[in-house]
Amino acid sequence: FWPTACYNEALHSHIAPLLPQLVPVLLNNMVYADTDFATMDPAMLTDDNSSVPDQQHDIAPRSHYCKDEQDEDDQPTTWGSDWTVRKAAASSLDNCAVRFEMAILPLVLPLIEQRLGAEQWDVRESAVLALGAI
Residue pLDDT, tens place only, 21-44? 999 999 999 999 888 777 777 766
Q: How far apart are the first and last CA of the chain?
A: 18
Q: Is the separation of the CB atoms in 23 and 108 below 8 Å?
A: yes
The amino acid present at 92, given as its one-letter code, is: S
Q: What is the pLDDT of residues 40-97, one digit of tens each?
A: 777 666 767 777 787 877 777 766 555 555 555 555 555 556 788 999 999 999 999 9
DSSP state of 74: G
DSSP state of 56: G
Query: Is the pTM above the cut of 0.75?
Result: no
More confidently predicted of 124 and 3: 124
